[in-house]
């Protein structure tokens, strides 16, 4: 005779089997309507730009439009929370980076677990940061800039996309390496911060290269160093951290795509294949390279690779961020 517990085990198994079959069936017709990408920062910024480039090309692969929804505030934690609560049906994606999907967990009391409430789809292109200043700041190289910042400790302002954003973590890193003190001005993304830098309202941003590139090329802001050991092919005039006199100031901001936990495997596989196809497209590659973005190696473009990387980044950054004592906005 079957015991009660073995009966409930059979029932649980058949529920799981039914949901696998339902998932497979949904995946066969998926997608039948537009897909939303929740971008955690302001329109026109680096996250928004990358999400739109990917979405446009993924549309060609999947036959449905990708709609970008900019959900700003608390350095992206509101956006990620929104994605976590969305239906796990492949129609809501969570776009983010080292800040939104790693650093925020060590700064904010989040109502979700960023490692277990989302399922990885793929890692996306990454880029280093670049130290930029308003065009009127009286410094022509990184050493002079650091000297000016040191001489103006209560006055010098650094724009960020909020406590825990890429630009903020990079600013804190710069402070740690140099002993500087910066006054942070949080924005809803580095797009509005850059507007204020161009008009001279703030002094510096340690910005994602892709965001600042056009204004650097146009000579409206000044670039001092990239946070990498190699120069950017898209902006070969900007010195590396080593060349500029700050060895070891290395930070590459990686991006990724996730879906809510419980999304059928087959749908994740379809999304992953579309993203992989997009990143392999030479026309997309050219747009990304122009922005200084680098496509991850093909073996890094699997959901499993993002899962492993994501966990390793949490283990690496949380102690550093907690030690730095970064407070929520
Ligand atoms: N990625 C952010 C944005 O799109 C900026 C940041 O994290 O610093 O505005």
165 C-alpha to center of ligand 1: Å? Answer: 6
pLDDT in tens, 91-128: 999 999 999 999 999 999 999 999 999 999 999 999 99
Question: Which ligand 1 atom sits nearest the alpha carbon of residue 187?
Answer: 9
Chain length of the chain: 329
Q: Check residue 252 and give its pLDDT.
A: 94
- Rounded distance, CA 297 to CA 303, Å? 13
- Beta-bridge mates of residue 206: 131
- Rounded distance, CA 121 to CA 302, Å? 7
161 C-alpha to center of ligand 1: Å? Answer: 5
- Report angle CA 235, 214, 148 to the nearest 5 degrees: 75
Question: Which ligand 1 atom sits nearest the alpha carbon of residue 47?
Answer: 4
269 C-alpha to center of ligand 1: Å? Answer: 27
CB of 47 closer than 6 A to ligand 1? yes
Q: What is the pTM of this model?
A: 0.91
Regions in the chain scoring below 70 on pLDDT:
1-23
Q: Check residue 325 and give its pLDDT.
A: 87
Backbone angles phi, psi at 115, to 5 degrees: -90, -30
Backbone angles phi, psi at 150, to 5 degrees: -65, -35
Question: Which ligand 1 atom sits nearest the alpha carbon of residue 100?
Answer: 7
On the question of a cis peptide bond just before residue 87, with omega within 30 degrees of 0, the verdict is: no
All structural domains of the chain, each given as residue ranges with its CATH number in brackets, are: 4-126+254-324 (3.40.190.150), 128-226 (3.40.190.10)
Long-range contacts of 236-245 (CB under 8 A, 24+ apart): 238/130, 239/141, 239/142, 244/141, 244/142, 244/143, 245/141, 245/142, 245/143
């Amino acid at each position: 005779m079957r015991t009660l517990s073995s009966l409930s085990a059979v029932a649980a198994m058949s529920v799981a089997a039914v949901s696998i079959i339902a998932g497979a069936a949904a995946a066969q017709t998926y997608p039948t309507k537009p897909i939303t990408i929740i971008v955690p920062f302001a329109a026109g910024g680096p996250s928004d730009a990358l999400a739109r480039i990917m979405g446009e090309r993924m549309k060609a692969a999947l036959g449905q439009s990708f709609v970008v929804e900019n959900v700003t505030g608390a350095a992206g934690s509101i956006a990620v929370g929104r994605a976590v609560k969305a239906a796990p049906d492949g129609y809501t994606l969570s776009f983010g980076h080292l800040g939104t999907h790693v650093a925020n967990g060590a700064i904010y009391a989040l109502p979700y677990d960023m490692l277990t409430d989302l399922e990885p789809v793929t890692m996306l292109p990454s880029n280093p940061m670049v130290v930029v200043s308003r065009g009127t700041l009286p410094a022509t190289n990184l050493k002079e800039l650091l000297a000016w910042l040191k001489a103006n400790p209560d006055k010098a302002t650094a724009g960020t996309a909020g406590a825990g954003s890429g630009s903020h973590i990079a600013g804190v890193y710069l402070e740690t390496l140099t002993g500087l003190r910066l006054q942070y001005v949080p924005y809803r993304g580095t797009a509005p911060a850059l507007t204020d830098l161009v008009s001279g309202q703030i002094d510096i941003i340690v910005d994602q290269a892709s965001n600042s590139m056009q204004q650097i090329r146009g000579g409206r802001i000044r670039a001092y160093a990239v946070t990498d050991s190699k120069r950017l092919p898209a902006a070969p005039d900007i010195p590396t951290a080593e060349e500029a006199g700050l060895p070891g100031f290395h930070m590459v901001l990686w991006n990724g795509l996730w879906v809510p936990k419980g999304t059928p495997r087959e749908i994740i596989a379809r999304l992953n294949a579309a993203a992989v196809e997009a990143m392999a497209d030479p026309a997309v590659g050219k747009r990304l390279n122009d922005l200084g973005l680098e496509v991850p190696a093909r073996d890094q473009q699997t959901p499993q690779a993002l899962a492993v990387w994501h966990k390793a980044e949490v283990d690496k950054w949380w102690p550093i961020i907690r030690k730095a004592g970064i407070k929520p906005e």
